[in-house]
Structure 1
Amino acid sequence: MWPLLWMTVRTYAPYVTFPVAFVVGAVGYHLEWFIRGDSPQPVEEEKSISERREDRKLQEIAGKDLTEVVSLKEKLEFTPRAVLNRNRPEKS
């Protein structure tokens, strides 16, 4: 009799354990909130990474004078010479 019972339990275990686990989980979830005494509060939305980056950029430029711009001649000095002179023949 025992081998027949164990074979039946082993065969139908997934069909029995899922509903049991579901009921135990649901009861535990509601019991926890009942014991805490307050209803579950909705989680406030967190700012996305791009929104945080935009806020940080706005704070960085808030104190700067935006009329001061670097001239193009000064910008060319910062570019690597190897890139600009790659296809040009060497000057003698």
Structure 2
Amino acid sequence: MANLHIVRSSGFTHNKLRQCLQTLMAADQIILIDDGVYNASHPDMMPLLNTHKVYALQDHIQARGLTPVPSGIELCQYDDFVALTIGSDKVITWQ
């Protein structure tokens, strides 16, 4: 199984995104929540979209007016977030 990385802060104002990306393993997944959804358009995120599964909470994207979302980022609901958490070996939060 893979690890789930929850990114809660924007890579435009904090270095947590960069730290997260440095620790990713091949099968790991990322979910963007809270201000972390701003990373959907961060330049460091774009190469990942070809190699890792990246999710973003739809409600958080919409609350910040960040539509449309770049292709490669899958929008999800809270129940999907719970399923990702349960299905992961470890859950790591970057805030």
Which protein has the bigger strand share?
A: 2
Give the number of the structure with larger relative contact order, counting CA–CA contacts within 8 Å between residues 6 or more apart.
2
Q: TM-score, normalised by structure 1?
A: 0.18
For the pair shown, which has the larger CA radius of gyration, 1 or 2?
1
Q: TM-score, normalised by structure 2?
A: 0.18
Which protein has the bigger helix share?
A: 1
